[in-house]
Structure 1
Amino acid sequence: MSEHIIEFQNVTKKYPGQIALRDVSFTLPRHKIIGLVGPNGSGKSTLLKLTAGLLHPSNGMVKVNGRKVNRRIAAEVAYLSELDVLYPFYTVEETINFYAGMFADFDEPKAREMLSFMQLDPHKKVKELSKGNRGRLKIILVLARRVPLILMDEPLAGLDPLVRDSIIQSLISYLDLSEQTVIITTHEVSEMEPILDMVVAVQNGRIQGMAEVDEIRSKYGKSLVEWMKETLVS
């Protein structure tokens, strides 16, 4: 088993008229909650999609678990999109059943336990759920998968503080960091700081800094937000 769960080797990603990532090389360790931070358009979501096999690099190579990423990586990676990808005509219960049928690693008892924890009505249709409850359901669908790598793109975006708090609590309660690694892009840095082990700062398609969150506090005597302000060039 590779020492690192994620490895980028000289990765560039170009879109028409735009370079999203510029010759990026880095590795990320296993069994941690890692935050990807940076301004909009910095390349964070592109990094996640390349790791999930949803995009291909224009140059370079991405590896997960020591193997080059391709479409089949979905068996080892659970990806939470910032977009709303749920079927509106399904009930919550039917959505759980659909995912259980789609992924052999889906832990149905764990999903139902989280439904209770998140106080979601299994008989309610997805289209009847508030934005906050759809956010909760998306989290359940990702955390119920027994995979080594979980990728979450802005899981707290647009949600009110109470919902954000319940989602952060579920991350703490339902992750198995002895088996799993979690990469989260987020703008809610101060709220996420207590659960992050490590942070990667991205800007203009480049990695501007990487650090252990405990080290930022103990060695530099800074909060994560203060470290970001110094690390991300203006």
Structure 2
Amino acid sequence: MNSIVAFSNVTKKYPGRTALNNISFTLPQGKVIGLVGPNGSGKSTLLKLISGLARPSSGLVEVNGKAAHRRIAGEVAYLSELDVLYPFFTVLETIRFNAGLFKDFDQAKAMEMLTFMQLEPDQKVRSLSKGNRGRLKIILALSRQVPLVLMDEPLSGLDPLVRDSIIRSLISFLDLESQTVIMSTHEVAEVEPILDMVVAIQKGQIRNIDEVENIRSQHGQSLIQWMKETLT
């Protein structure tokens, strides 16, 4: 199976700390991959390196066989944990703005997801609840027709009913014949049913990578149990 992401001896340092320390791994195409680990373990940094928003201090990050850099944005959709929506836009204006930014943006798919997510197109972003802003960010990411979708804590701070609807939208609107999803999350038990693989990271090191089905069948563990064993 072809790799969509490859890290080769990658270190990323910030002033006063090392976020990732000499890590090497590959991830295959056509999977939903969970990135798990405690706060400060390096998950967000890893996603930023893949998206080209950050550069490694040393080593090489490749996406689809090409070095990751800021111009890789044409092949990667990145959902930040930060709220980067313009508050003065309506929901519909936000969708149209992103359609103008990205040639691969599927506006028809975005409108279909809008109905699924039960968002009002004329509502101002500033008046949306945190849950509905999260839904809108999901729509913007999944409407990109790109081979790689990165999501940094897409369920963070959302109530269980909202998380459930977002997880169902991921199942409904992903095209795993042509897309790969890498998602950092703390809501491991809730997303486990849609994950194909999991990457455990701690203190800037990759502790383990495994297929979720293998964890269940060969190890007889839930993902939570596997995490506790791997990260302690």
Distance in 1 between residues matched to 2:219 and 2:2, nearest whole Å:
27
Question: Secondary structure, in 3 states, of the residue corresponding to 2:60?
Answer: strand
Is residue 140 of structure 2 the alignment partner of residue 155 of structure 1? no
TM-aligned CA deviation for residue 3 of structure 1: 1.7
Question: Secondary structure, in 3 states, of the residue corresponding to 1:85?
Answer: coil
Which residue in 2 is equivalent to 1:171? 170
Which residue in 1 is equivalent to 2:110? 111
Unaligned runs of 5+ in 1: none
Unaligned runs of 5+ in 2: none
Question: Secondary structure, in 3 states, of the residue corresponding to 1:93?
Answer: helix
Which residue in 1 is equivalent to 2:191? 192
* 1:186-206 Cα shifts (integer Å, max 9, x gaps): 000000100000000000000
Q: What percentage of residue pairs aligned between the two structures are identical?
A: 70
User: For residues 75-90 of structure 1, what are the structure 2 equivalents within 5 Å?
Assistant: 75-90=74-89
Question: Secondary structure, in 3 states, of the residue corresponding to 1:167?
Answer: helix
Distance in 2 between residues matched to 1:170 and 1:92, nearest whole Å:
18
TM-aligned CA deviation for residue 72 of structure 1: 0.7
Is residue 140 of structure 2 the alignment partner of residue 137 of structure 1? no
Distance in 1 between residues matched to 2:118 and 2:90, nearest whole Å:
15
Which residue in 2 is equivalent to 1:13? 12
Is residue 212 of structure 2 the alignment partner of residue 218 of structure 1? no
TM-aligned CA deviation for residue 86 of structure 1: 0.1
TM-aligned CA deviation for residue 70 of structure 1: 1.1
TM-aligned CA deviation for residue 71 of structure 1: 1.0
* 1:74-111 Cα shifts (integer Å, max 9, x gaps): 00000000000000000001000000000000000000
TM-score (norm 1): 0.98
* 1:26-71 Cα shifts (integer Å, max 9, x gaps): 0000000000000000000000000000000000000000011111
For these two proteins, the number of residue pairs brought into alignment is: 232
TM-score (norm 2): 0.99
Is residue 39 of structure 2 the alignment partner of residue 45 of structure 1? no
Distance in 2 between residues matched to 1:70 and 1:113, nearest whole Å:
32
Is residue 60 of structure 2 the alignment partner of residue 61 of structure 1? yes
Is residue 121 of structure 2 the alignment partner of residue 122 of structure 1? yes
Moved over 4 A (4+): none
Q: Provide the aligned C-alpha RMSD in A.
A: 0.7
Question: Secondary structure, in 3 states, of the residue corresponding to 1:99?
Answer: helix
* Aligned AA (1:4): S
